[in-house]
Structure formats: C-alpha cells, structure tokens
C-alpha cells in the first residue's frame, strides 16, 4: 500500500516513463511484472526525471524491480549513492562505486573494519539499525541502497523516499550473489557484476582443489563468534558459512545446517557444539546489551581479547580444536558480518593464508 501511494503520487512526474511503459507493453520490448502492471510502469522502461526526489530534472532514469518485486525509478548513471547496509556498501565498492555515505559496521563505531582501507573516509550516516536522516538529506543522494530489514521500518522508508529513490537489494540471510547482482542492477553495472562473480567462482574452485590436495577434505571447521562469556555459532546460511562451502570445507554436525539468519547462541552445557578439527574464532562488538563496546573491537585485537576470556570459561580448553592448537583467530568484522564479494573473497583469502 505504501509503495502504491508513493508511485501514484509521482505518476505525473514520471509521465515520460509511463509513455515509454505503454509503448513497451504494446511492443513487448520491456518486461512487465505484477508491480509494473499495477502502476502502469513497465520494468525496463526509461525516461527523463521531472520532480523525482533526489534526482535532478532532466536526468535519464530507468525503472527496475527491487527485491519486493516493486517498480523503482533510478538514475541511469547514479552519481551520489548512499548505502545503508554492509552488503550494499561492499557490493558498491566491488563495482568501483564509492558511496557518498554509509552506515557503520555492526558492533563498530566506524565503517566495517574489513573495508577500512577503501571505505574509511566515507561519512557515516548512522548504524544498520538506526539511520541519521538529517545526515542522509544533507549529502543529497540520487539513490539509496538498503536491505529490507534493520532500520527499514515503514516510517523510516517513508522519510528516505522523500530524499531519493530507495532500492531494496535483499533480506538478511539472503543468498549473497543474488543480493550483489541486485546492487549491480541498481548501479547499471550488471555485466561488471557477472564478471566479478565468475572470477570469484574460479578463485574459490582453485582454493578448494589446493585445500583437498593438502589433506583438508575430511577435516571439519567451526566458526565461532565469542561475546563476553558466551559462544555463538555461524551456520551455513551466513556469508562465512557460504564461503567455507564454496571451498569445500566441512562443518561439524551441530553447524552443518542453516539457522535464523544470524549467529546462534550456545549454552555452556552444549559448548561441544562449537568444537571441530579447526575453529575460526572471532568477536563482533560488545559483551552486553547495555554496553555495546565492552567486548572490545571487532578486529584481530578484539579476537585476541575474546580468546583470553574464552579460556576462562569451563569446558573451552577441553575442546579438540583448542587441545590440538587449531583455534585460528579472525577479524570479526570479516567473519561475523554480512557483505558481498569483497567479504567473501577476503574470507577465502584468509583461509588460504592460514591453511596453505
């Protein structure tokens, strides 16, 4: 209903698109969806902006379909992009687009630590759960990319849509390649996106072959996020789990499954569920809800501090991975976050350097 009202309100402003949509619907040159049909707009239609929030009049625009199967008018060549999630920031950077603003990484007071070398100077416009609308408006974006989750409640989206077109690329826990290609589509860089994914697949397959040659085919690998005195498991549906799957590394029985789209807590009684032949061990943010920075940083230094805490927890030092010296400390912002091709490639590069 919200999108119906929004698109109805700008129908006059998108008269050029509507005309093209009508022609496309007649000739079959543009793909129509239920969203396109509902608003009289054909997905794939192009036109000229007039009165569209955030887009200068006369700018070439096109209509694309977001993850909610709804029509969104976006610039043909976006110049001032804001990303409101880690996957959208990661995806944009991978495609050579530097956002004019983004949100801090989860559990961090900066851009995601794993992207700091290329994103450290990007202005922060809030967190993944709470946006700074004033800061977003002051940057004058012509496109806002975000997840259909986090701080994206209807009220927030309504405010954002008064600033610039809002394009939803995916949901938390969604398949990362699909999300990335939605980012690529929104930036009009589909061919570049496809090339990046092809290169990723080639690289992952090469690493997999070399890991098997080195004898890791039958080993199991745990991914643990440690927070305070508790362990959480990163299961198969999150990017780190997908990365290990891409290079053929097996998970222990308790982790060889999908979960709820985030790390799954483990009680001390079930701490053995975190065990495996090898354990990738990191932390992300604080050790308590009321003190989000109590657990230190999300980088390797944070992992070192968390590891010291873990060794004081009954049962941790009895785990096989610990006993055999196979606990591998990792950058938590890379290993316990969501992201795109830069995160996925970074995880595999780390595995490659740690094991080969």
Q: CA 66 to CA 186: how far, in whole Å?
A: 9
Closest among 304, 346, 356 to 328, alpha carbons compared: 304
Please list, residue by residue across 226-236, b when 16 or more beta carbons sit within 10 angstroms of its beta carbon and e when fewer do: bbbebbbbbbb
pLDDT of residue 280: 98
**3-class DSSP state for residue 63?**
strand
pLDDT of residue 14: 45
pLDDT in tens, 105-117: 988 889 999 999 9
pLDDT of residue 140: 98
230 φψ region: left (φ > 0), alpha (ψ -120 to 50), beta (else): beta
Per-residue tokens: 288: 């308590």
Q: CA 269 to CA 273: how far, in whole Å?
A: 9
pLDDT of residue 222: 98
This prediction has a pTM of 0.86
Q: CA 105 to CA 299: how far, in whole Å?
A: 12
pLDDT of residue 174: 82
Tens of pLDDT along the chain (356 residues)? 334 334 433 443 344 443 343 333 333 344 443 333 334 467 889 999 999 999 999 999 999 999 998 999 999 999 999 999 999 999 999 999 999 999 999 888 899 999 999 999 999 999 988 999 999 999 999 999 998 865 678 899 999 999 999 999 998 778 899 999 999 999 999 999 999 999 999 999 999 999 999 999 999 999 999 988 899 999 998 899 999 999 999 999 999 998 876 678 999 999 999 999 999 999 986 533 344 444 457 789 999 999 999 999 999 999 999 999 999 999 999 998 889 999 999 999 999 999 99
pLDDT of residue 298: 77
Asked whether the beta carbons of 243 and 274 are under 8 A apart, the reply is no
In 10 A of CB 201, how many CB atoms?
Answer: 12
pLDDT of residue 154: 87
CA dist list (Å): 85 to 56, 131, 156, 212, 339: 25, 10, 14, 35, 8
Q: CA 166 to CA 179: how far, in whole Å?
A: 15
Q: CA 144 to CA 82: how far, in whole Å?
A: 5
Burial of 214 (0-12, 13-18, 19+ CB in 10 A): exposed
Q: In the chain, which ranges are continuous DSSP H helix?
A: 2-9, 15-27, 34-39, 86-94, 116-119, 133-138, 154-161, 176-186, 190-213, 239-246, 300-310, 320-323, 332-335, 341-355
What the chain holds in terms of domains, given with CATH numbers, is 1-73 (no CATH), 78-188 (3.40.50.1980), 196-355 (3.40.50.1980)
On the CB side of 283, how many CA atoms lie within 13 Å of its CA? 28
227 φψ region: left (φ > 0), alpha (ψ -120 to 50), beta (else): beta
């Amino acid at each position: 209903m919200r999108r119906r009202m929004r698109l109805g309100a700008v129908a006059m402003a998108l008269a050029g698109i509507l005309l093209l949509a009508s022609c496309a619907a007649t000739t079959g040159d543009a793909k129509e969806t239920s969203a396109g049909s509902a608003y009289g707009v054909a997905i794939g239609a192009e036109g000229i902006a007039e009165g569209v929030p955030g887009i200068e009049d006369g700018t070439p625009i096109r209509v694309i379909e977001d993850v909610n199967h709804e029509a969104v008018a976006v610039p043909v060549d976006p110049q001032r992009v804001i990303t409101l999630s880690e996957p959208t920031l990661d995806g944009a950077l991978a495609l050579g687009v530097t956002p004019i603003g983004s949100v801090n990484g989860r559990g961090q007071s900066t851009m995601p630590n794993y992207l700091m070398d290329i994103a450290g100077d990007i202005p922060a416009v809030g967190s993944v759960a709470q946006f700074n609308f004033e800061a977003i408006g002051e940057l004058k974006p012509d496109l806002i990319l975000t997840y259909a989750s986090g701080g994206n409640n209807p009220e927030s989206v309504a405010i954002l849509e008064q600033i610039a077109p809002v394009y939803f690329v995916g949901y938390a826990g969604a398949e990362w390649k699909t999300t990335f290609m939605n980012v690529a589509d929104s930036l009009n860089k589909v061919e570049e996106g496809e090339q990046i994914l092809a290169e990723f697949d080639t690289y992952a397959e090469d690493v997999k072959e070399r890991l098997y040659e080195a004898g890791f085919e039958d080993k199991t690998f745990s991914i643990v996020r440690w927070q305070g005195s508790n362990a959480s498991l990163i299961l198969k549906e999150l990017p780190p789990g997908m990365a290990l799957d891409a290079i053929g590394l097996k998970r222990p029985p308790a982790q060889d499954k999908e979960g709820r789209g985030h790390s799954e807590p483990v009680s001390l009684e079930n701490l053995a569920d975190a065990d495996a032949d090898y354990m990738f061990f990191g932390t992300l943010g604080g050790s308590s809800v009321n003190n989000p920075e109590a657990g230190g940083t999300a980088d390797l230094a944070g992992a070192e501090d968390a590891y010291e805490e873990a060794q004081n927890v009954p049962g941790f030092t009895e785990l096989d991975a610990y006993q055999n010296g196979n606990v591998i400390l990792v950058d938590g912002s890379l290993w316990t976050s969501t992201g795109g091709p830069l995160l996925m490639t970074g995880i595999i590069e780390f595995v490659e350097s740690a094991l080969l």
